[in-house]
Amino acid sequence: EKIPLKLEVNGVKHKVSIEPRTTLLDFLRENLNLTGTKKGCDYGQCGACTVHVDGQRVNSCLSFAVMHEGKKITTIEGLAQGDKLHPMQEAFVKHDGFQCGYCTPGQIMSAVACIREGKADSEGEIREYMSGNICRCGAYSNIVAAIQEVKG
Ligand code: FES
């Protein structure tokens, strides 16, 4: 049986009725067609599905959409301001912070949270914070460089 859910995604309010076992990840991708958020493992191991919920990073595959009543979700689609990329997106481009790109949305959402939470003071701290985001291409050094540039 579906249950009602109200939340805001990238500044847009949604009022839906949803199967209670739908993950936030599937809700974003399948109900809202926001496919920038990726499904890698679907069990909390890879970080490809990382989004922000009221500014906190969350693995969206691990939580049910209905747990987010009244919350504000931000996905990779919500970072740019019109035609202007978010500074972290610019920095990933500049430092080649990706190869195949599949993990990139999750990496960028974590990278933004890393700086916001004050966990970007050293390379070690950045690597620790980012350790839940797996990149099979091995772009880690370039990702760290991008984060360090944005942190300044
Ligand atoms: Fe959520 Fe891998 S898809 S952590």
What mean pLDDT value characterizes the chain? Answer: 97
Tell me, what's the pLDDT at 12? 98
Q: Which domains does the chain have, with CATH numbers?
A: 3-78 (3.10.20.30), 87-151 (1.10.150.120)
Both tokens assigned to 36? 């920038």
User: Where does the pLDDT of residue 83 fall: very low under 50, low under 70, confident under 90, or very high at 90 and above?
Assistant: very high
Does the interface predicted TM-score (ipTM) exceed 0.95?
Answer: yes
Determine the distance separating the centroid of ligand 1 and the alpha carbon of 70, expressed in angstroms: 23
The set of residues, in sequence order, having a beta carbon less than 8 Å from that of 143 and lying 6+ positions away, is 92, 95, 97, 98, 107, 111, 130, 135
* Whether 45 contacts 134, CB under 8 Å: yes
Residue with tokens 């979700």, as numbered in its chain: 73
pTM, rounded to two decimals? 0.97
Residues counted in the chain:
152
- Which of 78, 59, 53, 24 has its CA nearest to residue 134? 59
Pocket of ligand 1 (CB under 6 A): 39-42, 44-49, 59, 61
Query: Ligand 1, closest atom to CA 60?
Result: 1
pLDDT (average), residues 18-28: 98
Between vectors from CA 11 to CA 62 and to CA 83, what angle results, nearest 5°?
A: 105
Tell me, what's the pLDDT at 151? 97
Tell me, what's the pLDDT at 129? 98
- For ligand 1, atom 4: residue with the closest CA: 44
Tell me, what's the pLDDT at 35? 98
Task: Report pLDDT digits (tens) over 104-151.
Answer: 999 999 999 999 999 999 999 999 999 999 999 999 999 999 999 999
